[in-house]
């Protein structure tokens, strides 16, 4: 009977398997000052296809800010009295306990509690109702709760990432959970797709598709799958970037000659030119306060990063070191600028503190591209390459913790980290 059940379970897993090839994750670095935490298997979670605490454990470990301790089954739940001396003896600074309880109509309630072990106090907990299909999402929410209570920063375990997978002649714009699970194809094409950009509400993605033998900017509604060509002028249309309020798109058009930045309404109406130069101006990015547009320009003879008031005006140069600084991306707090720097033929991810102008190279190169900040600003994702194969790498903004995300036998590129999910 057990064999039959296993076979059934396997068949179900296969049937429910994602249509798109899974991203696999490998952690390649470790942070300093990691918090040692014990995530005790939740009472009753064996009823689920995958234990919640496996997902919580993996999330916390992958963030680089926690060291997770193996506890084995403990016969504890969120209501159990805690023997703090024992957990101190195991060097745990934090402890998570909980239980999974069946509700009528196939749903479950998950209750958990987080403890500060040295202080011997509860830091709170939650009760969450879920369907079995929501188990991973529930685990990510619990990991977000733990991460925020213990680090003071909002967690990004419930966010999503967009990226492009190229396998042979096939291009797919995929959306996956931040841990690489649950990938879904938003667009499949025989022609290239580049420069995906999330709308601030996370409901739409703008991107450039070459399906008409030239670059055209589309806005794609993720819930309905409906999409609209919002910039399809004579010449090339590319590099879409949303304003922080989601009402405007900066785009790059060649319709009036050259490669120049324009601003328009998100539906494609009201197109106006931001600057007039005879140089290449491209890769616009709004600052988080909406006041400036950062961009790449070769107006000084080599590609460098500049910024201009979003309403138009005089541009100021931002990068000065080196002869190739491109792909500006602002951190969510507006204090840091991530970009790609070429140094001796190597293209590497760098981060500049905008107040002090100090720059730190955090990527390993030699072909780093397309940086994108996580919405809490603590991690960056970017594209890179080894042995001719593209993959994605995440790195903490101090460069210490690194992970790589790859798809077997395919190129992965053009990552964009989505916003926080709406509060509920």
- Edge-first strand order for the sheet with 402-406 is 24-27, 402-406, 389-396, 379-386, 369-373
C-alpha–C-alpha distance, residues 70 and 56, integer Å: 13
Locate the DSSP E strands across 72-192: 94-102, 108-116, 121-130, 160-167, 170-177, 184-189
Taking CB under 8 A as the criterion, which residues in 208-247 touch other proteins?
A: 210-215, 234-236, 238-239
Taking CB under 8 A as the criterion, which residues in 390-419 touch other proteins?
A: 414
Decide: is 388 part of the binding site for other proteins (CB under 8 A): yes
3-state secondary structure of 313: coil
Smallest gap, in angstroms, from Cβ of residue 73 to other proteins? 50
The smaller minimum CB distance to other proteins, of residues 235 and 313, is found at 235
Cis amide linkage into residue 356, ω under 30° from 0: no
Both structure tokens of 63: 């963030």
C-alpha–C-alpha distance, residues 277 and 403, integer Å: 40
**What DSSP letter does each residue of 55-87 carry, written as one string?**
HHHHHHHHTTSEEEEP-------TTS---HHHH
Smallest gap, in angstroms, from Cβ of residue 170 to other proteins? 9
The smaller minimum CB distance to other proteins, of residues 2 and 409, is found at 409
Smallest gap, in angstroms, from Cβ of residue 239 to other proteins? 5
H-run or E-run covering 147: helix 135-151
Decide: is 192 part of the binding site for other proteins (CB under 8 A): yes
Smallest gap, in angstroms, from Cβ of residue 309 to other proteins? 22
Q: Binding mask 332-371 vs other proteins (x if CB under 8 A, - otherwise)?
A: --------x-x----x---------------------xx-
Decide: is 191 part of the binding site for other proteins (CB under 8 A): yes
Smallest gap, in angstroms, from Cβ of residue 238 to other proteins? 5
Smallest gap, in angstroms, from Cβ of residue 369 to other proteins? 6
C-alpha–C-alpha distance, residues 6 and 8, integer Å: 5
Q: Which among 15-23, 107-115, 136-144, 205-213 is the span making contact with other proteins, rule CB under 8 A?
A: 205-213
* 8 Å CB contact between 234 and 255: yes
Both structure tokens of 313: 């005006």
Q: Binding mask 41-80 vs other proteins (x if CB under 8 A, - otherwise)?
A: ----------------------------------------
Q: Binding mask 252-291 vs other proteins (x if CB under 8 A, - otherwise)?
A: x-x--xxx--------------------x-xx--------
Smallest gap, in angstroms, from Cβ of residue 378 to other proteins? 24
The residues, any chain, with a CB within 8 Å of residue 160's CB and separated by 6 or more, are: 175, 176, 177, 178, 202, 418
Decide: is 195 part of the binding site for other proteins (CB under 8 A): yes
Smallest gap, in angstroms, from Cβ of residue 213 to other proteins? 4
The smaller minimum CB distance to other proteins, of residues 144 and 414, is found at 414
The smaller minimum CB distance to other proteins, of residues 161 and 252, is found at 252
The smaller minimum CB distance to other proteins, of residues 154 and 346, is found at 346
Smallest gap, in angstroms, from Cβ of residue 183 to other proteins? 21
C-alpha–C-alpha distance, residues 286 and 355, integer Å: 18
Q: Which among 68-76, 110-118, 188-196, 329-337 is the span making contact with other proteins, rule CB under 8 A?
A: 188-196
Smallest gap, in angstroms, from Cβ of residue 207 to other proteins? 12
Q: Residues in contact with other proteins, total (CB under 8 A)?
A: 41
Decide: is 17 part of the binding site for other proteins (CB under 8 A): no
> Pick from 338, 354, 321: which is nearest to 397 by CA?
338
The smaller minimum CB distance to other proteins, of residues 43 and 340, is found at 340
* 8 Å CB contact between 281 and 292: no
Both structure tokens of 174: 């995929």
Any idea what the Cα angle at residue 167 is, between residues 166 and 169, rounded to 5°?
Answer: 90
* 8 Å CB contact between 370 and 415: yes
C-alpha–C-alpha distance, residues 271 and 265, integer Å: 7
* 8 Å CB contact between 80 and 68: no
Smallest gap, in angstroms, from Cβ of residue 335 to other proteins? 23
**Which stretches of the chain bind other proteins, using CB under 8 A?**
166, 168-169, 171, 189-192, 194-195, 210-215, 234-236, 238-239, 252, 254, 257-259, 280, 282-283, 296, 303, 324, 326-327, 340, 342, 347, 369-370, 388, 414
């Amino acid at each position: 009977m057990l064999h039959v059940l296993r076979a059934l379970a396997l068949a179900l897993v296969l049937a429910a398997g994602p249509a798109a090839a899974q991203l696999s994750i490998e952690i390649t670095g470790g942070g300093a000052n990691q918090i040692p935490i014990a995530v005790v298997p939740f009472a009753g979670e064996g009823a689920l296809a995958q234990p919640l605490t496996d997902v919580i454990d993996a999330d916390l470990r992958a963030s680089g800010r926690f060291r997770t301790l193996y506890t084995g089954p403990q016969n504890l739940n969120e209501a159990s009295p805690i023997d703090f001396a024992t957990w101190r003896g195991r060097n745990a600074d934090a402890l998570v306990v909980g239980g999974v309880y069946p509700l009528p109509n196939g749903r479950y309630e998950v209750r958990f509690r987080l403890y500060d072990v040295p202080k011997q106090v509860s830091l709170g907990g939650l009760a969450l109702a879920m369907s079995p299909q929501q188990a991973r999402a529930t685990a990510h929410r619990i990991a977000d709760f733990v991460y925020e209570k213990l680090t003071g920063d909002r967690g990004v375990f419930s966010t999503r990432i967009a990226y492009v997978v190229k396998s042979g002649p096939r291009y797919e714009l995929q959306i996956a959970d931040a841990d690489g699970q649950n990938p879904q194809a938003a667009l499949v094409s025989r022609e290239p797709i580049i420069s995906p950009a999330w709308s601030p509400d996370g409901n739409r993605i703008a991107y450039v598709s070459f399906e008409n033998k030239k670059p055209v900017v589309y806005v794609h509604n993720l819930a309905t799958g409906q999409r609209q060509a919002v910039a399809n002028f004579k010449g090339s249309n590319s590099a879409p970037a949303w304003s922080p309020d989601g009402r405007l798109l900066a785009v790059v058009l060649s319709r009036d000659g050259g490669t120049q930045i324009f601003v328009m309404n998100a539906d494609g109406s009201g197109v106006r030119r931001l600057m007039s130069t005879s140089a290449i101006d491209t890769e616009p990015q709004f600052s988080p306060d909406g006041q400036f547009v950062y961009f790449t320009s070769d107006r000084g003879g080599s590609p460098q990063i500049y910024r201009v008031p979003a309403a138009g005006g005089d541009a100021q140069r931002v990068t000065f070191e080196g002869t190739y600084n491109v792909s500006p991306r602002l951190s969510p707090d507006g204090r840091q600028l991530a970009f790609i720097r070429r140094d001796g033929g190597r293209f590497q991810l760098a981060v500049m503190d905008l107040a002090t102008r100090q720059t730190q190279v955090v990527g390993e190169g030699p072909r780093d591209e397309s940086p994108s900040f996580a919405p809490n600003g603590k991690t960056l994702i970017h594209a890179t390459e080894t042995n001719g194969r593209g993959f994605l790498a995440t790195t903490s903004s101090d460069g210490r913790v690194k992970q790589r995300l790859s798809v077997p036998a395919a190129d992965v590129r053009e990552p964009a980290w989505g916003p926080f999910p709406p509060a509920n």
